[in-house]
A and B are shown apart, each in its own frame.
Chain A
Amino acid sequence: MLLTEQRLNTVIDLPIALPVTKVQAGDWITVATVELIAPAKLTLSQLQAHIVLMEAVSASDPCGGLGKNEINEDFIAGGLIAVFIAKNAAPDSRPDLQPYSEAMSVPSNFELAPDSTAPVFSSRAGSDALVLAESGLYSITVLNNTVNRNIHVSVNGILTIDLDPPA
């Protein structure tokens, strides 16, 4: 199969890039937004999040040891953090209540060792890619799902938009 310049120009890799950022307990930040207009297709080929550091909101409730990470029961997502791909969401509205196509989260029982960082996790890669074809405005949002931890997190990935996909 040969690749033409015209075909190459219809496929664009867009970044999902959040440098390490402190997200307060219960807060969220939108990382990327892409508008999809049919017949174009959007493929989430890779998405990773990395918890670099967790801080206790209260000094009497330290991370690690006897301290316990408490999940916000109001949020429908599980885990310490969750990354959402939401459709037609407003950046300042609660991401877990938006119609979303995908969400991934770090396990809630994950404990951060004082001298190490959390493992990178990835729910989407290679053949497991998520393909979106419905027109809409898609946003990638990371949510701190805890009530007692401020979390320093980085998120990165690739959204590939194919403007003229083969039939």
Chain B
Amino acid sequence: MNGFVTSLESVADCAISTPLVRVPARHVGVIMAQISIEKGQKLSVRYMGIHFAKFLRIGGISKLNTALPTVYAAVYHGNFEKFGSPTGRPVGYIGLDYPGYASMDPATPFEFRLPGVYSFALVNNAASNDIAALVTGAARVTDPR
């Protein structure tokens, strides 16, 4: 952790972002990025912020999955057959129940070493209310070899 960097070729930063978009209700998601890592590589997400601008309809804000925020930016691991329905629990997420801004603490990044495909999605967990939101972030893949 405190060693010197000898080569930047082993470090790749990947964009995780979407401009302000409308996300329909009922767990519809916008896939922002998909990153594959191999054995020995590390994926770290040090910064990801979600700006939940507003609800687009007047009405209730009941959630489909009460364990998760109304709107969230999440990391999923594994095969991603489709993203039009709930797909289980993400391996990391940040989110809000009401319009506002939330970001992760860069001091405690999401770090993943298990090989496979990681998918980053902006998800609307509201049962009947479309939303407008945007996400800005970046992920770093480090290859120690």
Contact = CB atoms under 8 A, between A and B. Distances in A.
B71 to A, nearest CB: 13
Contact of A13 (B1, B51, B132, B138): B138
Nearest to A142: B19
B2 to A, nearest CB: 6
B13 A34 contact: no
A29 B5 contact: no
B44 to A, nearest CB: 8
Given A29-B20, A91-B51, A163-B106, A14 B136 contact: yes
B17 interface: yes
A18 B53 CA distance: 17
A73 B58 CA distance: 33
Contacts of B47: 12, 14, 34, 161
Given A4-B3, A5-B3, A91-B134, A30 B53 contact: yes
A159 B47 CA distance: 12
Contacts of A16: 17, 136
Contacts of A12: 13, 46-47, 106, 138
Contact of A5 (B2, B49, B54, B136): B2
A66 interface: no
A15 interface: yes
A3 interface: yes
Nearest to B47: A12
Contact of A18 (B4, B19, B46, B132): B19
A6 interface: yes
B4 A3 contact: yes
Interface in A103-121: none
Given A32-B19, A35-B103, A92-B53, A8 B11 contact: yes
A32 to B, nearest CB: 4
A32 B54 contact: no
Interface in A84-100: 90-92
Contacts of A91: 20, 51, 53-54, 132, 134
Given A18-B19, A31-B20, 14 more contacts: A5-B5, A12-B138, A16-B17, A30-B19, A30-B134, A32-B19, A33-B51, A35-B49, A35-B101, A91-B53, A91-B132, A91-B134, A92-B53, A139-B51
9 contacts: A12-B13, A17-B15, A17-B19, A29-B19, A31-B19, A91-B54, A92-B53, A92-B132, A139-B51
Interface of A: 2-6, 8-10, 12-18, 21, 29-35, 90-92, 137, 139, 159, 161, 163
Interface of B: 1-5, 11, 13, 15-17, 19-20, 46-47, 49, 51, 53-54, 101, 103, 106, 132, 134, 136-138
